[in-house]
């Protein structure tokens, strides 16, 4: 499985988590990967100590790994929080404090993609109010991303696992992408196409690929059911990755799956070693 037309990047927030954060880049490099991505690593600290940022930067550089994607602060992931930017009060304030910190770190690593997760719907606040707050914060994020020559990504999650999350279909996420681009005029808001989440929602993946590849700047994969490596579930990744290539997608494919009951390094048998390093 795999294609020379695609470049693969390992998500170090779901793979290699049996190791401390600063050891994961080297472990990914030892498994043959030259590119990695991360959720925001400090779930309780939108603005961590500079020494922590410096240590992570050094670990990535020492391992020779390129950072291809980074989440803005999004609360506890994986977990029930599922994002922060549309949640009134302290969570959206944390997101705003994080925007420039995350953008500066990404810029220092040459990272060109920042993922901004919506927040869950909350009681006592109208959906319209939350959406207005989300747009305000996404506009801020898009300007910060533009400052470092990056895109800001908007992702659809899945309703079974995140029932309070409002963006649980490709069209809903793309609506937000279009709204942000209209508000900023920058054109740097893009769709993050996570094939696992979309399949969990029962969407027609062929139709999603055909309809939205032109608005997509990042793809993530995991098999379904189980969120394991390709080949552990029912999705045909040879077909799906081929269709993405045919649709013109030439960006990164993020491996955002659970390794199962084995060390993470043992979960890459499906991907030939020559295809792991971009």
Active site residue 123: no
Kindly give, in sequence order, each residue whose CB lies less than 8 Å from that of residue 137, ignoring residues fewer than 6 positions away: 85, 86, 92, 95, 96, 99, 116
For tokens 């189980």, what's the residue? 226
Question: Which of 37, 91, 203, 256 is the catalytic position?
Answer: 256
Q: Give the number of residues written for the chain.
A: 278
Helix (H) or strand (E) holding 115: strand 113-115
Instruction: Report the C-alpha gap between 99 and 144 in whole angstroms.
Output: 7
> Is 256 considered catalytic here?
yes
Cα 105–chain centre separation = 16
Catalytic residue among 155, 161, 182, 234: 155
Q: How far apart are CA 72 and CA 38, in angstroms?
A: 10
Among 131, 136, 247, 145, smallest CA distance to 187 is for 145
Instruction: Supply the residues annotated as catalytic.
Output: 155, 256
């Amino acid at each position: 499985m795999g294609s020379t037309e695609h470049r693969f990047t390992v998500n170090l927030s779901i793979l290699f988590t049996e190791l401390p954060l600063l050891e994961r880049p080297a472990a990914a490099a030892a498994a043959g990967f030259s590119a990695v991505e991360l959720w925001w690593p400090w779930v309780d600290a939108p603005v961590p100590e500079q020494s922590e940022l410096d240590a992570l930067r050094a670990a990535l550089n020492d391992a020779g790994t390129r950072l291809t994607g980074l989440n803005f602060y999004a609360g506890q992931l994986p977990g029930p929080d599922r994002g922060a930017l549309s949640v009134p009060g302290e969570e959206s304030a944390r997101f705003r404090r994080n925007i420039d910190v995350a953008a500066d770190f990404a810029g220092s690593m040459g990272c060109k993609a920042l993922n901004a997760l919506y927040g869950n719907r909350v009681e006592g606040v109208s959906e319209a109010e939350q959406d207005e707050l989300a747009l305000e914060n996404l506009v801020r994020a898009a300007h910060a991303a533009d400052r470092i020559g990056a895109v800001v990504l908007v992702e659809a999650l899945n309703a079974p696992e995140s029932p309070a999350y409002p963006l649980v279909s490709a069209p809903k996420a793309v609506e937000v992408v279009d709204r942000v681009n209209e508000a900023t005029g920058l054109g740097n808001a893009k769709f993050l196409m996570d094939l696992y989440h979309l399949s969990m929602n029962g969407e027609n993946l062929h139709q999603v690929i055909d309809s939205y590849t032109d608005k997509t700047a990042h793809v993530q994969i995991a098999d379904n059911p189980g969120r394991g490596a390709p080949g552990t579930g029912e999705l045909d990744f040879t077909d799906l990755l081929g269709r993405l290539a045919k649709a013109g997608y030439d960006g990164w494919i993020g491996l955002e799956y659970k390794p199962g009951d084995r060390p993470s390094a043992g979960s890459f048998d499906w991907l030939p070693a020559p295809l792991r390093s971009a």
